[in-house]
Chains A and B, each alone.
Chain A
Amino acid sequence: MAGRRSLSRRHFLATLTVPLVAAGCEKPRYDARRFTRPSRSAVGLYPATTYSTDFADVISRGFRDLGVDLRGKRDLLKPNMVEYEPGTAINTHPLVVAGAAVACQRAGAIDVVVGEAPGHRRDIEYLVTATGLLDQLKDHKLRFVDLNVDDVRMVPLASEFTALKQMALPAEVLKADYVISMPKLKTHHWAGMTCSLKNLFGVVPGAVYGWPKNVLHVHGIDASILDLAATVRPHFAIVDGVIGMEGDGPIMGKPRPVGFVAMGADPVAVDATCARVIGLDPQKIPYLKTAGEFLGHTDESRIDQRGETVARYATRFDVIPDLEHLRR
C-alpha cells in the first residue's frame, strides 16, 4: 500500500516481542531462588515408526527408564490440537494420547484427564471429532476438558518476561498433580520450533483472551512461552515425533516422518533434544536458550540419553528461509 512502511518478518516480530536479553541494568526477569533444577536431566528417545505402534508400551517403557511414579496422582495430558486438515501432521496423534493415558493408569494414576485449549479453532466438538480424539476418549473412557472454556483462576506469573503479571489459567490445569505436555514436533514460523514448552500456549483460555491467544503474541511469543513455562511448570513431556511437521509450521507445513517418541521430566531438555534431532540449535532458539538458564537444561553435556541416540533419528527439517539461522 502506497506510503505505508513495509515490515519484514523479523521486524514484524520485533514489534511483537519483548526482548529477552535485558540490558545490563534491567532487573532480572525471574527470581533464581524460585527455580531449582537437578544437576542433570534425562531424556528418552524411543522408536515408533508408525501410528500402529503400541504407544502404551512405548510410553510405559519410558516411564520405567525415567523413574516416573504416578501412584495416587491426578494427571492432565495436554496434547497439541490446533486445526484439522486431512493428510497433515498438525496435531498430536490421538493414538499417542490414548497410549499415554493407558501408561499413566499403569503407572498408578488415579485419574487421567485430557485437556486442550486450541488456539486456532474454537469449535472443540469439531476438532475432537475430526482428529479422531473423540473415539479414543470413548474407547478408553477418558474425560476431556476444553481448557478454552473451563473455570479459571487468576494466577500470578512466576517470571516477568512479559508485562502481564498475572494470567487466567484453567482450574483443571491448576488442580492436576501431574501435568504432561504432549506436543507434536513441528517447526514454527514465528517461534522456530514448537514442542513441549510452546505447547503451553494451549493452556491459555480462549474464552478469556480470544482466538488466537493474541495477547501472547502482543506480549511477545518467546516471552509468553517463558512466563507460561515458569508458571505452569509441566512435570513431564511426551513428544509425538512419529511424524513431525517441517517448513511453514505449525499449521501449513509438510509432514515429515521421524519415527520416535521423546520423553522426559525436564521439558527444556526434551525440547533441546528434539531441536537437535530436527537439525536446529537449541541455543539459537531464543525462548529455549533462556529456558535453559533457569527452567531446565539445553546443554548436551547435562542431558543423559535414555533409549536411542539423537543420531539415530537425526532428520534435517526444512525451515522457512527466515529461520535458516537456527540451524545447527
Chain B
Amino acid sequence: MALTGLQKELRSAVLAARNADGGWGYQAGKSSRLEPTCWALMALARVDGRTLDAEVLRQWPTDQRWLADVPGAPANIGFNGLAALSLMSDPRGSAGAQLIGRLILAAKGKRLDQSTVLRQDNSLQAWSWVDGTFSWVEPTCWCLLLVKKLRRQLGDEAEYRIRIGEAMLRDRACLDGGWNYGSSNVYGQELFPYVSTTALGLIAMQDHATDPVVLRARERLEADYASEPTPMSLALTAIALETHKRPRDGARALLSKHLSSPSIATSTLARAMGLYALTDSADGRTAFTL
C-alpha cells in the first residue's frame, strides 16, 4: 500500500514522539499514557500493514490488575477498555484483553435515585470513567464495545451488561439524535449532541444499525461532522462511518485538510487517531469492528 505524503508525515511525527519506555504521551515529550499509546500502536500497525505488537501494553504497570495510567490515581475504566481493544489486535495480547474484560464486566457506574431535574434513567448502571462515579457515554462506549467483542469468553454476565449498556445509550440519546457526554436534558433544556461522542456511540451500537436511536445518531453525525472540524472528531467520525459501512470520503478529506495544517493544539493523540482513520486496514479488520 503506497502511503500519501500526509500519512508519511503523520507516521514520522508519531514515531518521533515515542518515549524511551515504548509508550506515548498526549504531546511529544510528555509521560506515556494509555490513551495515546493505544492509538499510536493501532495507527502504526495499520499504516505499516502489520499485526499490532502491544508489548508496551503487556508490560504496562498495573494497580489492582487494572492498567494504571497514573500511579496512585484511580484506574481509568474507559481507557482500560480502549487498551483491551488494542490488546485484542495483538495475538499475544488476548489474555491481557480478557483480564481487563473481566474487570470491566465487574465495574459499574454508580446508581442514583431518580431526579426531577435530569431526564434520564438513573438506575442504569453502565460504565463510569473511574470507580464510584456515574455512567457516562464515552467510557460506556469503549467498555460496551469491548464486552461485545469478548461476549463469548465473558459468559452470561456479558449479555446482561451489554443490555444495560445499550439501554443507557438509548436513554441518554439527545432528542435530535446523537449523544452529549451524559445527560441529554437538564432543567428542561435539551443539551447538544457532540460529534465525537456521537461517533463513539455509533461505534458501540454498530450492531443495531436499524435501531431508530442509532439511525437518528447517524443522520446527526453525517449532518454535523463538518461543524467540528478537528482531527479527533473527524477521525472518530471516519471510524464510526466505517463501522456502519457508510461513505467516509468526506470526513477523511476534511481530516486530511486539517492534519495537513496542524495547529499548536494538535496533539500526538490527534495525529495518531488521524493516521489510523486515514489508513485502510490491510485485511479489512479493525479494532473497532464487531
Q: Which residues of A contact B (CB under 8 A)?
A: 1, 4-9, 11-12, 15, 85, 120-126, 128-129, 134, 137-138, 143-144, 146, 149-152, 154, 166, 168, 189, 207-212, 214-215, 217-218, 248, 252, 320
Contacts and interface: CB of A to CB of B under 8 A. Distances in A.
A129 B26 contact: no
Interface residues of B, number: 56
Contacts of B79: 207
B73 A7 contact: no
Lowest 4 A-B CB distances belong to which pairs?
A210-B129, A149-B26, A154-B72, A214-B133
Interface in B63-79: 69-74, 76, 78-79
A209 B130 contact: yes
A144 B265 CA distance: 8
B263 A15 contact: no
B138 to A, nearest CB: 7
Contact of B70 (A4, A8, A129, A152): A152
A123 B113 contact: no
A150 B29 CA distance: 11
A129 B134 contact: no
A210 B33 contact: no
Contacts of A121: 194
Interface stretch (B7-15, B97-105, B114-122): B114-122
Contacts of A8: 116-117
21 contacts: A7-B116, A8-B116, A9-B116, A85-B192, A122-B196, A123-B194, A125-B265, A125-B266, A129-B265, A138-B264, A143-B264, A144-B264, A150-B26, A150-B30, A168-B72, A189-B186, A208-B69, A208-B76, A209-B129, A211-B136, A214-B129
Nearest to A320: B187
A248 B187 contact: yes
A218 B30 contact: no
B138 A208 contact: no
B181 interface: yes
A137 B113 contact: no
A67 to B, nearest CB: 34
A234 to B, nearest CB: 22
B58 interface: no
A120 B183 CA distance: 12
A207 B113 contact: no
A211 B186 contact: no
A248 B189 contact: yes
A217 to B, nearest CB: 8
A210 B130 contact: yes
A214 B232 contact: no
A57 to B, nearest CB: 27
B76 A207 contact: yes
Interface in B130-147: 130, 132-134, 136, 138-139
A146 B196 contact: no
B29 to A, nearest CB: 9
B286 interface: no
Contact of A124 (B114, B121, B123, B265): B265
A4 B113 contact: yes
Contact of A210 (B27, B112, B139, B189): B139
A168 to B, nearest CB: 5
A15 B111 CA distance: 11
B256 interface: no
Interface of B: 25-27, 30-31, 33, 35, 69-74, 76, 78-79, 110, 112-118, 121, 123, 128-130, 132-134, 136, 138-139, 181-182, 186-187, 189, 191-192, 194, 196, 228, 230-233, 263-267, 269-270
Which of B35, B129, B134: most chain A Cβ within 10 A? B129
B259 to A, nearest CB: 11
A9 B117 contact: yes
Nearest to B189: A252
Nearest to A152: B70
Nearest to A253: B189
A149 to B, nearest CB: 4
Contact of A4 (B69, B114, B117, B269): B114
B138 A125 contact: no
B181 A211 contact: yes
Which of B27, B30, B73: most chain A Cβ within 10 A? B73
B25 A151 contact: yes
B71 A154 contact: yes
Nearest to B269: A149
Contacts of B134: 214, 217-218
Contacts of A120: 181
Contact of B110 (A4, A125, A218): A218
A178 B22 CA distance: 34
Contacts of A122: 138, 196, 232
A89 B14 CA distance: 37
B117 A12 contact: yes
A322 to B, nearest CB: 8
A269 to B, nearest CB: 30
B256 to A, nearest CB: 15
A223 to B, nearest CB: 15
B248 to A, nearest CB: 19
Contacts of B136: 210-212, 214
Contacts of B264: 134, 137-138, 143-144
A15 B265 contact: no
Contacts of A125: 230-232, 263, 265-267, 270
A122 B194 CA distance: 10
Nearest to B33: A207
Contact of A7 (B113, B129, B196, B265): B113
Given A1-B121, A125-B266, A151-B25, A212 B181 contact: yes
Nearest to A210: B129
